[in-house]
């Protein structure tokens, strides 16, 4: 059975201490959260940094500080930065922060980068990142965007090798509540696109069904992104203590799912 990798997304661009006192905002808090989540079973962290007022920022200097702090607090943990625009940043500014920081990994929304007026600039950016060895993850908010990505790959705008995507469940659902069934349209489009072979997909999910959605993702062969960026509650609907608690719940649920799958397979073989 596929063993899913776990990435924690501890803060996002919009939430703050008023949403949950354990949501990390400062670089020191993010680094401590990274260490706690690594101990709980997370393999990587999706990083948003904040300015002095606590607002989402694409400040290259702050990203460099955050990466150094996380590397010190959680050695060997994968670090992915984001270029999320949040209505504040242009594609040019998004590209600039990646080119300046040159991170190991970055997530980039297809609708923010590929929809830019300058298609040539987007194409050059995607190929530069590939040549630089940056693990670029394409954020996809709908099954239609899977087809859009396929067309860009066919046109040569996006490199095919090492393709990595994130399926976002529940972003535009009522009250931002996802359901495991939300994954099916993505998977149907993914398989039909011809992109799934040799590629990787990860899933994140808004709302209290986050854990169940991620179990569905793992069962389908994907990886999991979990944390306060998308959901503040445990599977039982009660507020989670912190991001590490969300990771621990997922690790336990994945282990239980794997045990059941193994038992079922043994029963079939008998």
Q: Which distant-in-sequence residues (6+ apart) come within 8 Å of 134 by Cβ?
A: 98, 102, 103, 104, 105, 106
* Mean pLDDT of the region 45-61: 97
pLDDT at residue 265 above 80? no
At 179 the pLDDT is: 96
CATH number at residue 31: 3.20.20.70
Q: Using one digit for the tens of pLDDT, what is the confidence trace for 156-193?
A: 999 999 999 999 999 877 788 999 999 999 999 999 99
The percent of residues in the chain predicted with pLDDT above 90, rounded, is 90
Any domain includes 1: no
Number of separate domains in the chain: 1
Q: Using one digit for the tens of pLDDT, what is the confidence trace for 200-250?
A: 999 999 999 999 999 999 999 999 999 999 999 999 999 999 999 999 999
Categorize the per-residue pLDDT at 54 as very low, low, confident or very high, splitting at 50, 70 and 90: very high
How far apart are the C-alpha atoms of 149 and 224, rounded to whole Å? 21
At 171 the pLDDT is: 86
The reported pTM is 0.95
At 209 the pLDDT is: 96
Categorize the per-residue pLDDT at 119 as very low, low, confident or very high, splitting at 50, 70 and 90: confident
Any domain includes 258: yes
pLDDT at residue 123 above 80? yes
Any domain includes 192: yes
Q: Which domain holds residue 10?
A: 6-269
Any domain includes 264: yes
Any domain includes 66: yes
Any domain includes 173: yes
The percent of residues in the chain predicted with pLDDT above 70, rounded, is 96
The average confidence (pLDDT) of the chain is: 95
């Amino acid at each position: 059975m596929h063993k899913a990798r776990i990435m924690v997304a501890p803060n996002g661009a919009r939430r703050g201490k008023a949403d949950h006192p354990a949501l990390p905002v400062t670089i020191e808090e993010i680094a401590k959260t990274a260490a706690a989540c690594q101990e709980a079973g997370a393999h990587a962290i999706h990083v948003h940094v904040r300015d002095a007022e606590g607002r989402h920022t694409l400040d290259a200097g702050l990203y460099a500080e955050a990466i150094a702090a996380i590397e010190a607090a959680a050695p060997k943990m994968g670090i992915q930065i984001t270029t999320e625009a949040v209505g504040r940043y242009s594609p040019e500014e998004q590209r600039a922060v990646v080119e300046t920081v040159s991170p190991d990994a970055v997530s980039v929304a297809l609708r923010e980068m590929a929809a830019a007026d300058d298609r040539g600039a987007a194409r050059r950016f995607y190929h530069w990142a590939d040549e630089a060895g940056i693990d670029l993850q394409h954020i996809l908010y709908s099954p239609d965007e899977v087809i859009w990505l396929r067309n860009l790959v066919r046109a040569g705008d996006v490199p095919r090798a090492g393709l990595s995507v994130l399926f976002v469940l529940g972003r535009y659902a009522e009250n931002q509540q996802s359901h495991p069934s939300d994954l099916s349209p993505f998977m149907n489009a993914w398989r039909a696109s011809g992109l799934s072979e040799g590629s990787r997909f990860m899933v994140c999910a808004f709302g209290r069904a986050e854990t169940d959605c991620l179990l569905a993702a793992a069962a389908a062969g994907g990886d999991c992104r979990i944390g306060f960026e998308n959901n503040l509650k445990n599977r039982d609907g009660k507020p989670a203590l912190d991001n590490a608690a969300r990771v621990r719940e997922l690790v336990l649920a994945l282990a239980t799912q794997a045990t059941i799958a193994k038992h079922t397979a043994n029963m079939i073989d008998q």
